[in-house]
Structure 1
Amino acid sequence: MTDTVTGSLSGSSGPAPASARVRFGRRQQRGLLLGLSPVRVACVAIAAVTITAAVFLAGVLGVLLVSPLWMGAIALAFVRHGERPLVEVLPTVGHYLARRVTGRNRFRASPDHPRPGGTMALPGEAAALRFLIDPASQTALVHDPHEATVTVVAHVEHTAYVLLSPDEQARRVSGWSRALAGLAASGRCRRLQVLDLAAPDTGEGIVGWWRGHRTATDTPFASEQYEELMTTRAPAAATHRTLVAVALEVPSRLLWARGTGTARGLELVRQEMSAFEAGLRAADLRLAEWLQARDLADVIRGAYDPLRASGTSVGSLRAAGPVAIDERWDRLDHDTGCSAVLWISEWPRIDVPADFLHALVFQPGVRKTLSITATPLSSRQAMRDIRRAKVEHVTDAAQKARIGAIADLADAAELDDVLDRERALINGHADMRFTGLIVITAGDDDELDAAVTQIERAAVQSGCETRRLLGQQARAFTAAALPLARRVD
């Protein structure tokens, strides 16, 4: 679906720095030849072969006769749609058109054809997901039989980060880094997804509390200031909820086998849950609960049906899926809303504080979900990626020097990022791939377009570049709006 950004996470327990700052590596865009990807090189080769053959067979007239072929190949390689060349967009366009022709871009729930027991009634690739309940904790476990993973979802509560002192902020960041590094070191964590769910709030709760608790003895000046603050800020209030989904690698035979097999699989999941909970405590984060079936069903149903009456509960994961979905090229219509998914194509390229996403997370008046998925890499895989990146850099530099092309600072910056990853890996730190997606949901198309523009501006303020995904909205929505820790690459 998208490219990823790779970064290292410290697992050391030494003292935290006084000022916690982070930096993401640049997204690697190096190609096979002079920055061109293999498919673009193939297009150029087809054009060159076509022209050469035409010259030898029919001269200049032959070149003119086959011009549509070689000019089309060159156009596919160099003409861009958005930020990508046409030849790299064609597979997405073809897949989308094929799904549209066959009707697979639409989903309708069929009461006459009930789903098999234990499934979640989700569309697309998520249709194969099954769920089971841990009898000890009543936690909902989502099983993916294709990937042999089990996903558990934690509701995490935390204090306001921006109100903490710089030393305390650095300590919290270091603790969260150690928690992630511990997951990566276990070897059983396949993916970790952090979601911030934000929904506009009328502010009636704040206003109601004030009206019920104010007294005649309150200071008039303080009361006036508080009244003015509520008048200006309460309408722009929002409710936030933080969920962390952890996908664990557990063989299917340990979950669904009879007798001791099921007990062994559940015990492995409980051990990882306990270890992650300990990591959260070390980062001063409070685990409110591991989501049970009812809570997880409400979260999933809320993503598809954002305008449903508050206080209503789905009750079962069997009924958590959508009633109707229509996927369009740049958005997704679902039940009572429509959504668009943005991909964070570039993270900040300079050192930024750990709260650099503040403007994006707390953008008022927009219903959105910010999803950041981290995929741990084994030491062997990370070193292999680093060696390949170094070889590609040296090869590209040699090719540019051979033809007299001038190297730019971007090449040096990419090499520095690769070397930083290598140093961190040698020092024993964990290596992870990060992918950020933003789901914006609204009631109609006009409201959605306005919200997308607002979020794009907030992303720029946070130092990020975003790109709306085209032809992949249904799959991206499932990966970003639902706490299921799905694959996003």
Structure 2
Amino acid sequence: MASRNRAGHRDEPELHPVKFSRLTRRGVLLGLSLSQLLVLAVAALSIVVALYMGGGMLLAYAAPICLLCAVLAWVPAGGRKLIEWVPIALRWVWRTTGGQLMFRARIVKPRPAGTLALPGDAAALREYLDPATDAAMIHDPHAQTLTAVLTVTHPAFVLLDPSEQERRVTGWGRVLATCCRSGRLARVQVLERTLPDSGSGLAEWWAEHGRADCSWTSNTYAELIDRAGPAGERHATTLSVALDLRTSARAIRTAGGGMKGAAAVLRQEMTTLSAALRAADLTPSEWAGPGEIAVMLRSAYDPAVAATLERHRDLGRSLATAGPVAITESWQHLRSDSAFHAVLWITEWPRSLVYPGFLAPILLSSGVRRAFSLIATPIRSDQAARDIRKKKTEYISDAHQRQRIGQIEDAQQSAEFEDVLQQEADLTSGHGILRYTGLIAVSAPTLDELEAAVSALEQAAIQASCETRRLVGQQAAAFAAAALPLCRTV
């Protein structure tokens, strides 16, 4: 009997661990980035000029320049070389002097019709209502994208048995491969948010199954439901797809041109994606209309009214007023209507083998208001093949160059080359290649609570074998990318 049980266990499908590719740190030459090479070239040029002009005191004058360039090129600070902080600092100074760190909604002067009431560069976004599906499509004229949002429901992944988890992971892989095949999608965003439960689900259940006979038991139960509902917490998942209007120009012209043609092309991608989600045992809803997107935007910037908006379905359904009333950005956090926010960037995914549910410590952290955003950039198969061949050639040539000058190749470079070979094998097997960006937006009513929540999320990320860093100096743009389902980038 024991042998039959063991054989039966061997026949069951097992949950296989996965491994992420490392964040490549290969530079242009000998591991040095373009910015490092530029400052080192400035140092070398100053020495050459000093020698050409006669040396002596000119070399003494050139020494501080060389020292400064060497410090900028090689001294790290906060996980980056100092030269990499220069553009961030210059942009911050430019925004500070230009008064761009504060946003106040114009109450008297209405916004133009069809625009979104969002701060910063997101103010250029336009709304297009698709007449065929009644879905709200968000047009970004600068990035040349058209975005649609879909709400997805699914069972709790961590509660499924390993065989079911493996089957769902395989189905989700097919969904991602579908996004890569057309070559028309610019980005795909999966946004998982924690929201205060308004209690509408309990209230609807009581209205359908309860017995309101004015008895003491009935009144007590109704009062308990009314009090317990808003104290709860629920999770909501959305999937956003952004159509690249540049690469889809020919298909858009064939469909009639303009926004009407772009909407027709995006509808094709929406239909394909919905079918792929159903095949993966996920339950997609109807594509979000203006009202649903307005509630998402308003709840992100003003978390205090999220439960009220959900309980009263006729409030906050206009995109023209869905943005924040006031925003103040600082170096490390952002303050909006009723909360403080901070955005963490997942700089390193797990370097060792992990199981697909490795993000559970982050996604299931209780007592923290956060939004986890996974932004995937699909790469066409032909382009991915060219990039892989280019990387292989560069790695091999860099290895020969290091061997010539006697530089030892470290384990990090060998691991990155192995990742490139694995990507080539996956592409040959029919899988899609995507570039992932993970962002975590943390919100709290006070600054002290925000710092405590950020510390809790950082510890949860460590448990998930991930490395996080706060996106200082760009919190407003990072929050728009992390907490809004609009396929934005940082």
TM-score, normalised via structure 1 length: 0.85
Question: After superposition, where does 1:239-388 map in structure 2 within 5 Å?
Answer: 239-250=234-245, 264-308=261-305, 310-312=307-309, 313-388=315-390
Distance 1:450 1:426, change over 3 A: same
The answer to whether 1:170 aligns with 2:166 is yes
* Counterpart among 188, 192, 198 of residue 196 in structure 1: 192
Work out the percentage of aligned pairs sharing the same amino acid: 46
Q: CA deviation at 1:195?
A: 0.4
8 Å contact kept, 1:256–1:262: no
Question: After superposition, where does 1:140-179 map in structure 2 within 5 Å?
Answer: 140-179=136-175
Equivalent position of 1:118 in the other structure? 114
Distance 1:16 1:176, change over 3 A: farther
8 Å contact kept, 1:16–1:171: no
* Counterpart among 57, 65, 70 of residue 66 in structure 2: 70
Equivalent position of 2:177 in the other structure? 181
Distance of 1:293 and 1:188 partners within structure 2: 24
Q: Secondary structure at the match of 2:177?
A: helix
Distance 1:260 1:236, change over 3 A: closer
Q: CA deviation at 1:53?
A: 3.8
Q: Deviations over 1:219-268 (max 9, x none)?
A: xxxxxxxxxxxxxxx99963110011111235699999999966544433
Distance of 2:230 and 2:148 partners within structure 1: 35
Distance of 1:241 and 1:202 partners within structure 2: 13
Equivalent position of 2:312 in the other structure? none
Distance 1:255 1:299, change over 3 A: farther
Q: Secondary structure at the match of 1:47?
A: helix
Equivalent position of 1:450 in the other structure? 452
8 Å contact kept, 1:190–1:249: yes
Distance of 2:387 and 2:281 partners within structure 1: 34
The aligned amino acid for 1:354 is P
Question: After superposition, where does 1:4-153 map in structure 2 within 5 Å?
Answer: 18-55=14-51, 57=53, 59=55, 61-153=57-149
Distance of 2:381 and 2:306 partners within structure 1: 48
Q: Which moved more, 1:57-66 or 1:347-356?
A: 57-66
Distance 1:200 1:463, change over 3 A: farther
8 Å contact kept, 1:200–1:364: no
Q: CA deviation at 1:309?
A: 6.1
Distance of 2:19 and 2:231 partners within structure 1: 31
Q: Secondary structure at the match of 1:310?
A: helix
Q: CA deviation at 1:401?
A: 1.7
Q: Which moved more, 1:385-394 or 1:468-477?
A: 385-394
Distance of 1:65 and 1:89 partners within structure 2: 26
Equivalent position of 1:225 in the other structure? none
8 Å contact kept, 1:198–1:369: yes
8 Å contact kept, 1:305–1:334: yes
8 Å contact kept, 1:298–1:320: yes
Q: Deviations over 1:320-354 (max 9, x none)?
A: 11111112111111111111111100001122111
Q: Secondary structure at the match of 2:148?
A: strand
Aligned positions, number: 455
Q: CA deviation at 1:31?
A: 0.9
Q: Deviations over 1:285-336 (max 9, x none)?
A: 1113321111110000111111126223312111111111112111111111
RMSD over aligned Cα atoms:
3.1
Distance 1:35 1:367, change over 3 A: same
Distance of 2:466 and 2:483 partners within structure 1: 20
5+ residue gaps, structure 2, are 1-10, 211-228, 310-314
Equivalent position of 2:222 in the other structure? none
Q: Deviations over 1:404-446 (max 9, x none)?
A: 2221221111111001111222233211111111101111221
Q: CA deviation at 1:371?
A: 0.2
5+ residue gaps, structure 1, are 1-14, 215-233
Q: Deviations over 1:354-398 (max 9, x none)?
A: 111000111111110000011111123212321232233223222
Q: Which has the higher contact order (CA 8 A, sep 6+)?
A: 1
Q: CA deviation at 1:65?
A: 2.9
Distance 1:264 1:90, change over 3 A: closer
Q: Which moved more, 1:101-110 or 1:247-256?
A: 247-256
